[in-house]
């Protein structure tokens, strides 16, 4: 009886193992990818600067734990309105690693209507058509025309930091739950500190129950012409031009 019991135990343990070696237990999983949109740098001429964008994303998990991701990246704009931006991974903040891995660099040129996406090692750059997006109109405060939400706008006043004047605004949006797929109204709060001189938000804070708290701040701001090398494509980079459609083959 002891031998039979031992055999059954081994059979139960080895059966699924043997099956997993002959065929997969499930199809490959694509995983989940999260991305947040940082500040928008418009190609404004005659307003050059260099700065560091500091991003901090705080999420409250279902078990009450707090999850934080962060990165720091370089951005710049020259007097012609060309915009340079680094793109970096969001990672858990660590004092021994102040910067995360570079994923790409971007150079947007409004004069040539070209934006270049370059690999972190500088070996390849893709050129694509760059169209300056129109500045969206500011949504008016009050109830939305279709009655599915409302917006309250609060004036936070003005302040000057490091010689840069900023104007503060808080937008409180209440959305109908049926519109956003929740069982109750959803409130989203956004705070902006805007620099008229630079034409961009020096600080943006978004508080959304679906995503947590997203905070973007600009530091190390220098209002002078940035290093011109930032706007040059890497030497010896392979250039792939997607700005014009490929010519169809002749028959």
Q: Give the pLDDT confidence score for residue 34 in this predicted structure.
A: 66
Query: Cα(230)–Cα(74) distance, rounded to whole angstroms?
Result: 10
Cβ proximity of 199 and 45 under 8 Å: no
Q: Give the pLDDT confidence score for residue 242 in this predicted structure.
A: 96
Q: Give the pLDDT confidence score for residue 14 in this predicted structure.
A: 47
Cβ proximity of 82 and 110 under 8 Å: yes
CA-nearest of 222, 233, 195 to 48 is: 222
Query: Cα(88)–Cα(153) distance, rounded to whole angstroms?
Result: 33
Domains of the chain, earliest start first: 49-133+140-241 (2.50.20)
Query: Cα(207)–Cα(58) distance, rounded to whole angstroms?
Result: 10
CA-nearest of 214, 213, 99, 223 to 161 is: 223
CB-side exposure of 90: number of CA atoms within 13 Å? 19
CB atoms within 10 A of CB 211: 14
Cβ proximity of 207 and 213 under 8 Å: yes
Query: Cα(108)–Cα(77) distance, rounded to whole angstroms?
Result: 9
Instruction: Say how far residue 144 (Cα) sits from the centre of its chain.
Output: 28
Q: Give the pLDDT confidence score for residue 89 in this predicted structure.
A: 93
Tell the residue number behind the tokens 């660099």, with chain if given: 105
Q: Give the pLDDT confidence score for residue 179 in this predicted structure.
A: 81
Q: Where are the beta strands (DSSP E) in the chain?
A: 49-60, 66-77, 83-88, 102-109, 114-118, 124-129, 142-143, 149-161, 164-175, 186-195, 200-208, 212-222, 238-241
26, two tokens: 């499930």
For residue 84, the cross-strand partners are 76, 107
| pLDDT by 10-residue block (mean), the chain, 251 residues | 36 47 77 76 96 95 92 97 96 84 96 96 96 84 88 96 95 89 91 96 95 96 97 95 69 52
Cβ proximity of 218 and 203 under 8 Å: yes
Q: Give the pLDDT confidence score for residue 226 in this predicted structure.
A: 98
Q: Give the pLDDT confidence score for residue 2 in this predicted structure.
A: 37
Cβ proximity of 82 and 109 under 8 Å: yes
To the question of pTM greater than 0.95 for the whole model, the response is no
Q: What are phi and psi of 120, to 5 degrees?
A: -65, -25
**Cβ-proximal residues to 215 (8 Å cutoff; 6+ apart), any chain:** 54, 55, 56, 57, 58, 203, 204, 205, 206
């Amino acid at each position: 009886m002891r031998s039979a019991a031992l055999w059954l135990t081994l059979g139960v343990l080895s059966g699924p193992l043997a099956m997993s070696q002959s065929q997969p237990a499930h199809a490959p999983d694509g995983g989940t990818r999260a991305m947040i949109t940082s500040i928008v740098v418009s190609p404004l001429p005659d307003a050059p600067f260099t700065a560091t964008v500091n991003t901090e994303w705080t999420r409250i998990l279902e078990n009450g734990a707090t999850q934080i991701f962060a990165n720091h990246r370089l951005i710049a704009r020259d007097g012609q309105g060309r915009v340079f931006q680094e793109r970096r991974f969001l990672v858990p903040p660590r004092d021994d690693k102040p910067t995360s891995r570079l994923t790409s660099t971007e150079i947007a040129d409004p004069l040539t209507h070209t934006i270049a996406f370059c690999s972190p090692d500088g070996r390849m750059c893709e050129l694509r058509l760059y169209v300056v997006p129109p500045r969206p109109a500011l949504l008016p405060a009050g109830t939305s025309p279709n009655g599915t939400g409302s917006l309250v706008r609060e004036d936070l006043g003005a302040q000057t930091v490091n010689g840069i004047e900023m104007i503060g605004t808080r937008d409180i949006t209440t959305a109908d739950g049926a519109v956003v797929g929740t069982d109750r109204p959803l409130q989203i709060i956004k705070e902006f500190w805007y620099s008229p001189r630079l034409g961009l938000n020096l600080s943006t804070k978004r508080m959304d129950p679906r995503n947590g708290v997203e905070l973007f701040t600009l530091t190390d701001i220098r209002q002078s012409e940035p290093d011109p090398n930032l706007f040059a494509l890497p030497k010896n980079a392979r250039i792939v031009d997607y700005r014009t459609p490929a010519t169809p083959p002749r028959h």
